[in-house]
Amino acid sequence: MDTKYKNREKFVEIIKYLDISEVLVLHGSRQVGKTTLMKMVMEYLQNKENHQVFYFDLEKPEYLELCNKGVEAVVGYVKARQNNRQSENNTKSKIYIFIDEVQYLDDPASLIKLFYDHYKDDFKLLVSGSSSFAIKSKFKNSLVGRIIDLEIFGLSFYEFLDFKNLNYELSSDSELIKKELKNLYEEYVIYGFYPQGSEDIIKLSREHNDANILSLGASFIDEEAAMKAVKLWLETAFSGEERHVRR
């Protein structure tokens, strides 16, 4: 796939579920790459003939208000924006709807249930949420059999190396390779779980989440690196943006 995104192992699994009717739910902690995965899938679909894609970021108040009005409001909006390509070609294919940060909805379970029960032949719904607890507390047993639930984690070590544009044969007997991989793995343990990288994730924990605790592994980081991380963290202010306050 010709893409501007780095490949994620989970992407291949998601693609397998695009042709079935169940709603696909991606959930996991913040900054692990759920939105990027959704955009990768959107790009994949847009490169395929006759697929129309709509994306709703519920951190934007106008989209949150629309989706809280219910499934008919969302369907009406999509139909009003739908292009005429399919009707001109006398063809029909599913429309794909992506809803990001679904936990912000007043009743996400109801929206998902109604989409599946009444529109699964015309629409494929994919949703994501950054808080597994919030999603599970708002989802109900009524969704059993209607959703495919995928938990998204941070980078694997293979993905970490790929993000750094590094290629290694992990089973190599070379002592130098082993030493380099050991150093890289120590970096991965400290920072590599998140796609953004070390400094970015430290800043985002303050800018976006207003974190008041910074945890550093003493066994994996030296004093100089620790002091640099703490200084950056303390000097970074909370953004105060509405979407971040709502978190």
Query: What pLDDT is stored for residue 140 in this prediction?
Result: 64
CA of residue 119 relative to chain centroid, distance: 24
More confident residue, 201 or 230: 230
- When pLDDT is cut at 50, 70 and 90, the band that residue 90 belongs to is very low
- In this prediction, residues 196-202 reach a mean pLDDT of 64
The overall average pLDDT reported for the chain is 82
- pLDDT of 136 > 80? The answer is no
Please enumerate in sequence order all residues whose Cβ is within 8 A of that of 139, keeping only pairs 6 or more positions apart, or say none.
108, 109, 112
Q: Please give the structure tokens belonging to residue 214.
A: 């910074």
Q: How far apart are CA 188 and CA 185, in angstroms?
A: 5
DSSP 46-112: HTSTT-EEEEEETTSHHHHHHHHT-HHHHHHHHHHH--SHHHHHT---PEEEEEESGGGSS-HHHHH
CA of residue 139 relative to chain centroid, distance: 18
- In this prediction, residues 27-50 reach a mean pLDDT of 86
- pLDDT of 145 > 70? The answer is yes
- In this prediction, residues 134-158 reach a mean pLDDT of 80
- When pLDDT is cut at 50, 70 and 90, the band that residue 111 belongs to is very high
- pLDDT of 243 > 70? The answer is no
94, 120 Cβ separation under 8 angstroms? no
- When pLDDT is cut at 50, 70 and 90, the band that residue 203 belongs to is confident
Q: Please give the structure tokens belonging to residue 64.
A: 């949150």
- At residue 5, the 3 state secondary structure works out as coil
Of 24, 104, 27, 101, nearest to 57 by C-alpha is: 101
More confident residue, 17 or 201: 17
More confident residue, 91 or 29: 29
- In this prediction, residues 20-33 reach a mean pLDDT of 88
More confident residue, 221 or 8: 8
CA-angle at 195, arms to 124 and 136, nearest 5°: 50
